[in-house]
Amino acid sequence: MRSGSAPAWARELVQAVCGEAGVAPPSVLRWRRLARTLASGVTHRRRGSIAVSAGTDADDARHTLLHELAHWLAPEEFAPRRRGGRRAVVHHGAAFYRVALELYARHEGPLAQALRREAWRYPTSLRYAAALDVEIGQLVAERRVRAASRARARPVWRILVPEHAVELRRLGRWYVCGTCGRRLVGRTLVRAARRGRRERHTLWTREPEVASA
């Protein structure tokens, strides 16, 4: 296996996983390091390669490599054929997660933590985990709390200055509304210049919604 700049632990993990499965390892393990936190990866079976772009989180890089190894080992899975079309490949289905969850449990540590990482990228992994009798109650509860928090913090539009007549003024190189200060450009400027004070608009602002206590 050609592994280039892949770290020793990654090469050893590939050999161990493929050895346990009785499958030849990929011909090429490509590895690069990026100035970001999380990793990403891609597996090309026909080319015989696995590529990982590792971030600064070593645990996430290990998880990503195990995820790609699951793609290397799992049998191909297809969606039901549509009339007149080809059968689409299912990349993250039941067949994949039967292999992936076993690898996470064996080579990553606590399965709950591995599944938490997986669900952050692929939420449907929790559904497949439940079908395989993996306990996901705590993870589902965590996701509901995060979803509720995002909903509370979702920006909302509010009226900053009610509807008013546009008063066109020059401010440096720009034209603005003298009432609200909104910059006017393009078609909006042309329309305001043509219509004068008959042109009216409302100034809106977008701000986070404050959750009630």
- pLDDT tens sequence across 86-99: 777 788 999 999 99
Q: What is the mean pLDDT of residues 50-54?
A: 94
Is 142 found in the same domain as 130?
yes
What percent of the chain is predicted at pLDDT more than 70? 93
CA distance 115 to 43: 20
Same domain assignment for residues 103 and 189: no
pLDDT tens column, 167-177: 999 887 889 99
Q: Which of 79, 80, 52 is nearest to 66 (CA)?
A: 52
Q: For residues 203 and 15, which has the higher predicted lDDT (pLDDT)?
A: 15
Last residue within a domain, chosen from 119, 151, 183: 151
181 and 82 assigned to the same domain: no
In whole angstroms, give the CA distance from residue 3 to residue 75. 24
pLDDT confidence tier of residue 212, bands split at 50, 70 and 90: very low
121 and 164 co-located in one domain? no
Residue 35 sits at φ, ψ, to 5 deg, of -85, 65
Assess whether 22 and 72 both reside in one domain: yes
User: Do residues 136 and 129 touch, judged by C-beta distance below 8 A?
Assistant: yes
Same domain for 201 and 130? no
Claim to verify: residue 65 and residue 124 sit in the same structural domain: yes
Alpha carbon distances (Å) from 200 to 88, 166, 171, 189, 203: 53, 5, 19, 12, 10
State the DSSP H helix or E strand holding residue 33, giving kind and residue range, or none if neither: strand 28-33
Residue 173 and residue 81 in one domain: no
Q: Are residues 93 and 188 in the same domain?
A: no
- 143 and 83, same domain (yes or no): yes
Angle between helices 111-121 and 137-153 (to 10 degrees): 40
Q: Give the pLDDT confidence score for residue 15 in this predicted structure.
A: 96
Q: Domain range spanning residue 160? A: 155-208
User: Looking at the domain assignment, is residue 71 inside a domain?
Assistant: yes
Mean pLDDT of the region 18-34: 95
User: What percent of the chain has a predicted confidence (pLDDT) above 90?
Assistant: 56
Band of pLDDT at residue 213, cut at 50, 70 and 90:
very low
pLDDT: is 10 or 82 the higher one? Answer: 10
Residue 48 predicted with pLDDT over 90: yes
- For the record, the structure tokens of 62 come out as 């290990």
In a domain, 213, yes or no: no
Type of residue at 129: A
The pLDDT value recorded for residue 146 is: 77
Q: pLDDT band for 209, please (50, 70, 90 cuts).
A: low
| Domain identity same for 105 and 17 | yes
Count of domains observed in the chain = 2
